[in-house]
Amino acid sequence: MNSDEKLEKIYESLPEEVQEIIDKVLEAVDYFCWNITGDTAIDCYSAHSISDLYELVEEFVGVGYSGLTNDDLEYIQNLPDDIYDKATYYVQTILENTANKLFEECMQDPECRKGCEEDPDCRERMEEYLSD
């Protein structure tokens, strides 16, 4: 079983209500990273990938494009630890995978790669990427 299949299995094992909240969170992060933040999408996804599920829901509660509500936040807060941990792991992994995919695409694009070389944080990530 590959990592995508493992992630899908984790997602499918979660209660439907948790899946719906995860979907809203991922859509909110997508919108934020592509349309609002002043950071690059790579940096935005990376930054959000270290937040737990509660922090992500809290960040986007009441934001028009997210659809997340205080009820969602309360629901997440009251989840059993094992479900909460699985849901957090799933979201963090999806966000980090997205950042990594965008970074790999950037490394293939000469203009993006040149821009990365000029940004200290991106350059550090690029050096790690090239050393692997």
User: What is the chain's percent helix, strand, coil content, to nearest 5?
Assistant: 80, 0, 20
pTM for this model (two decimals): 0.89
pLDDT at 81 over 70: yes
Asked whether the beta carbons of 108 and 74 are under 8 A apart, the reply is no
Model confidence over 10-61: pLDDT tens digits?
A: 999 999 999 999 999 999 999 999 999 878 888 899 999 999 999 999 999 9
Average pLDDT value over all residues in the chain:
90
- What is the C-alpha to C-alpha distance for residues 127 and 132, in angstroms, rounded to an integer? 9
CB atoms under 10 Å from CB of 71, counted, come to 10
Q: Are 48 and 33 in contact (CB under 8 A)?
A: yes
Provide CB contacts within 8 A for 80, sequence distance 6+: none
C-beta atoms surrounding 97 within 10 Å: 15
